[in-house]
Amino acid sequence: MKVLHVSASIFSPLDEEMHHSKKIWLELAKGADEYHVFARNKTMAFSNTTEGNLHLHLLPRFGKKEFYFLPLSFLLPLYIWLIRPTHVVAQCPVLGGLVAAIFNKIFNYGLFIEIHGEHYFLPVKPGFFGKMHHTFFKKFSKFSLNRANKIRSLSSSMSEKLTDTFGVSISSKIKVIPNRVDLDIFNTVKSEYEIGTALNVISVGRFSKLKNHSNLIKDLYASGIKFHLTIVGSGDLKSEFYELVESLGSSNDLTVLENIPHSELSKILPLNDVYIHYSTSEGVPRAILEAMACGLPVISTNVGYIDDLLQHQVNSMVIDLPYKESLIDSLSILIDSAEQRKKIGRNARLTIEKNYEWNLVFDLYREEIKNCKVGVN
């Protein structure tokens, strides 16, 4: 079995950096004779590197935004012709998946398409351009999904949304393969649930408007709770966060950590009292899974497709609009009861061990790719 995995993301060559995705590819490669990855380089250079049966083919970056991958993806047929894969895995039905769908009948490979976010179903960006972005993705996703042999969904609610949006004709192709957590890395589990003089809050995610960190800062101050917030991620909004904190309180109330490896994040998470995910749009975020794996009480907005994962006041606190009021209520419940914090944290860890553990998910993942064949749903 030869697999070609298509991603719009940016990576370094295999011999330069041990990034998290490399471990994922090596895991998937266990089920293949050859596992090829087609993605973008951090530099403006072509690159081909190999490790065992894993081959990483990187194209020049041409800008940070993933949308720049769309014109680059029209080089994909050349790589398909050279590699002659039996299976193609596309992480997006449009960025790479569109070209893979156009050529799958010509080159006769099984096409496995993944869905990871909400922008296929509804506009997640404001204004006219947000609507145009959504219309573009929805239109071309329908074409790709209809030509796919299998479609990966992250949860049962996402599967239902896929069928509602793109038609019942794709329903038999959809397979739920959830996100996963490597418990060999996230093996430090919170044991003490007492709170000190300030509530230590942590939030993980790229610094973007959709992650809603600025409103989280405002609403934490509005709660009147003495807190320290740690934001882990990367992006261009770091200075905005500090300006906001200084205008509302003190710069000592905030720590921003950038480009933290998973091995370090797994040690930082359990040192906090609460994890808050304040995003306005999501799929099933791995950051929540990792916080739960560390036994941390999680507060999350009710967005995306978290229904299979989160149970309110059982393994998490799920908040609805208006977020500020719901956040303050949830914080009050957790602050008032160490027993509640402990119960939610322990149940969160059990949820991950039972349904989202690394080996469990990858066994299913490899099997579904292997069984993805032309003419077989």
Q: CATH no. for residue 94?
A: 3.40.50.2000
Domain identity same for 236 and 289: yes
The DSSP 8-state label assigned to residue 243 in this structure reads H
Distances in Å between the alpha carbon of 304 and those of 154, 269, 309?
10, 23, 11
In a domain, 376, yes or no: no
The 3-state DSSP class for residue 183 equals coil
pTM: 0.90
Contact (CB, 8 A) for 245 and 83:
no
- pLDDT reported for residue 343: 97
User: Reduced to 3 states, what is the DSSP secondary structure of residue 306?
Assistant: coil
Residue 6 domain flag: yes
Q: Is 185 contained in some domain?
A: no
Structure confidence at residue 377 (pLDDT) = 54
Q: Is 192 within the bounds of a domain?
A: no
193 within a domain of the structure (yes/no): no
Distance CA 164, CA 205 (A): 29
The answer on 221 and 166 residing in a single domain is no
Say yes or no: 30 and 109 in one domain.
yes
Pairing of strands 317-319, 54-59: unpaired
In this structure, are 88 and 224 located in the same domain? no
Residue 191 domain-assigned (yes or no):
no
Q: Domains in the chain: how many in total?
A: 2
Same domain assignment for residues 162 and 204? no
Domain-embedded: residue 343: yes
Do 174 and 213 share a structural domain?
no
Q: What pLDDT, on a 0 to 100 scale, did the predictor assign at position 262?
A: 87
Three-state SS at 281? coil
Considering the domain architecture, whether residues 346 and 264 belong to the same structural domain is answered as: yes
Same-domain status, 44 and 78: yes
- Whether residue 315 contacts residue 292, with contact meaning beta carbons closer than 8 Å, is answered with yes
User: In this predicted structure, what is the pLDDT of residue 15?
Assistant: 84
Tell me: do 72 and 153 sit in the same domain: yes
365 and 341 both lie in a single domain: no
Give the pLDDT score at 376: 58
Backbone angles phi, psi at 151, to 5 degrees: -130, 125
**Residues 175 and 298 both lie in one domain:** no
pLDDT profile of the chain (377 residues), mean per 10 = 95 80 93 95 94 96 85 95 97 95 94 88 71 83 95 93 92 95 94 93 92 94 95 90 92 92 93 95 90 97 89 95 93 95 97 96 96 72
Domain that holds residue 8: 2-180+358-370
Same domain, 238 and 135: no
